[in-house]
């Protein structure tokens, strides 16, 4: 009896829907029926089926209610896998990367450095230039002998003492459904792990990045220190703008992301909590997703580094306030729980 009632109810609801929605739903059901008829008893998914559902998920908002033989997250996985294959194939067309440093040059840099303990990188580069050898600063820094300097406090004690005056920043990339790569820029304050500014661009430049720092720290809110890596995007214009704001840049060593830990950690959190579970359509779509996520991150997401509190302090909701209810955030990816009187 219940079965027939549900069937009748679905028939009535279908009659009230618009023609385009019904046609799209019928298309999806017929495609799934073809898969079942093609391989019984267990259907086998072809590449054409995957492409169909990736395109269909962009055309029809209610596609999640129609798909039956795969899970929703499988469709998003197919899109991410297609993106990886696309760029892997495209990258194979290029020539070889940066040539390796010759062993003779590596040994010469080490020999010069050990024989002349007072020489720094510029001095070694100058001597190599006189020998007709041109190399970059990063190469000499990598292979020269590292001397033990004066004692220094650990990063942990330094960050504990200066955390409220330190900010970190970094870029990370996000692919779109059309295989476009977008760049996301974030600035995080270490004291309360707050992301004070973010923005999205298709083509980051030094001038654009310098303007983001001005927007992140208006008036007298600039930190004392600003951690960043050695990316070439931070050019002369960026350095001069930061210097004019009386901020001291602290550059991390090459290949040492752990020296900017809070920025690297929050990027990983953004990916795991949000971006790994959505398909980004374009720049505006990504900006809206991140804006929604950061509202949740600041007001509702608890943080181990803050002893279970949120970046914006969240008061404890006592039991006498009523029963616990769940409020969806970030499009239902996460929930915020509070007590509400009946």
Residue 244 covered by a domain: yes
- C-beta of residue 175 within 8 angstroms of C-beta of residue 281: no
- C-beta of residue 229 within 8 angstroms of C-beta of residue 264: no
State whether 177 and 280 are in the same domain. yes
| 154: confidence class by pLDDT, cuts 50, 70, 90 | low
For position 6, what pLDDT does the model report? 46
| 5: confidence class by pLDDT, cuts 50, 70, 90 | very low
Residue 254 belongs to domain spanning? 155-299
For position 113, what pLDDT does the model report? 82
Is residue 263 classed exposed, middle or buried when 0-12, 13-18 and 19+ CB atoms within 10 A define those classes? buried
Domain with 221 in it: what CATH number?
A: 3.30.420.10
Residue 117 covered by a domain: yes
First to last CA, the chain: 35
Name, of 39-43, 69-73, 227-231, the range with top average pLDDT: 227-231
Residue 324 covered by a domain: yes
Name, of 13-22, 25-34, 127-136, 175-184, the range with top average pLDDT: 175-184
| 13: confidence class by pLDDT, cuts 50, 70, 90 | low
pLDDT beyond 90 at 110: no
Residue 218 covered by a domain: yes
| 304: confidence class by pLDDT, cuts 50, 70, 90 | confident
pTM above 0.85, yes or no: no
For position 115, what pLDDT does the model report? 78
Residue 303 main-chain phi, psi, to 5 deg: -135, 130
State whether 124 and 245 are in the same domain. no
> Among 217, 179, 175, which residue's Cα sits nearest to residue 200?
175
pLDDT tens per residue, range 115-125: 777 777 887 88
Residue 51 covered by a domain: yes
State whether 195 and 237 are in the same domain. yes
Q: List Cβ neighbours of 257 (8 Å cut-off, separation of 6 or more).
A: 229, 264
Q: List Cβ neighbours of 245 (8 Å cut-off, separation of 6 or more).
A: 213, 214, 217, 222
Q: What are the tokens at 122? A: 């510029």
State whether 165 and 289 are in the same domain. yes
Report CA torsion sign: 306, 310, 313, 315: negative
State whether 173 and 264 are in the same domain. yes
Residue 6 covered by a domain: no
Query: What domain count does the chain have?
Result: 4
Residue 16 covered by a domain: no
State whether 180 and 235 are in the same domain. yes
Of residues 108 and 161, more confidently modeled: 108
**Mean pLDDT along residues 213-238:** 89
Report CA torsion sign: 90, 92, 93, 97: positive
By percentage, how much of the chain surpasses pLDDT 90? Answer: 31
State whether 259 and 319 are in the same domain. no
> Among 126, 117, 184, which residue's Cα sits nearest to residue 148?
117
The mean pLDDT of the chain is 80
pLDDT tens per residue, range 193-217: 899 999 999 999 999 999 999 999 9
Question: Strands 225-228 and 166-175: what pairing?
Answer: parallel
Residue 97 covered by a domain: no
Of residues 77 and 202, more confidently modeled: 202
CA distances from 260 to 162, 164, 253, 293 (A): 14, 15, 10, 22
pLDDT tens per residue, range 268-284: 999 998 999 999 999 99
State whether 133 and 164 are in the same domain. no
In angstroms, the CA 286 to CA 138 distance is 35
State whether 294 and 161 are in the same domain. yes
In angstroms, the CA 268 to CA 95 distance is 31
For position 313, what pLDDT does the model report? 87
8-state DSSP, 191: T
């Amino acid at each position: 009896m219940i079965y027939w009632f549900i069937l009748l109810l679905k028939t009535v609801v279908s009659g009230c829907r618009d023609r385009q929605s019904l046609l799209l739903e019928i298309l999806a059901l017929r495609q799934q029926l073809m898969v079942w008829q093609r391989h019984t008893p267990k259907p086998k998914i072809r590449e054409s089926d995957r492409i169909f559902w990736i395109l269909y998920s962009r055309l029809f908002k209610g596609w999640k209610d129609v798909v039956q033989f795969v899970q929703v997250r499988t469709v998003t996985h197919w899109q991410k896998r297609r993106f990886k294959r696309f760029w892997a194939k495209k990258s194979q067309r290029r020539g070889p990367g940066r040539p390796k440093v010759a062993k003779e040059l590596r040994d010469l840099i080490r020999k010069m450095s050990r024989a002349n303990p007072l020489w720094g990188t510029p001095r070694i580069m100058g001597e190599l230039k006189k020998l007709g050898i041109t190399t970059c600063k990063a190469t000499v820094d990598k292979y020269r002998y590292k001397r033990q300097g004066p004692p220094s406090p650990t990063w942990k004690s330094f960050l504990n003492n200066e955390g409220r005056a330190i900010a970190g920043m970094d870029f990370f990339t996000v692919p779109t459904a059309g295989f476009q790569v977008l760049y996301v820029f974030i600035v995080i304050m270490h004291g309360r792990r707050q992301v004070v500014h973010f923005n999205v661009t298709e083509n980051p430049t030094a001038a654009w990045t310098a303007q983001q720092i001005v927007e992140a720290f208006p008036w007298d809110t600039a930190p004392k220190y600003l951690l960043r890596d050695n990316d070439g995007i931070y050019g002369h214009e960026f350095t001069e703008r930061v210097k004019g704001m009386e901020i001291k840049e602290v550059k991390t060593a090459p290949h040492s992301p752990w020296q900017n830990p809070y920025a690297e950690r929050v990027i990983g959190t953004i990916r795991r909590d949000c971006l790994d579970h959505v398909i980004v359509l374009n720049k505006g779509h990504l900006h809206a997703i991140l804006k929604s996520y950061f509202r949740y991150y600041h007001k509702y997401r608890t943080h181990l580094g803050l002893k279970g509190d949120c970046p914006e302090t969240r008061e404890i909701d006592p039991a006498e306030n009523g029963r616990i209810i769940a409020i969806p955030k970030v499009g239902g990816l996460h929930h915020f729980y509070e007590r509400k009187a009946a």
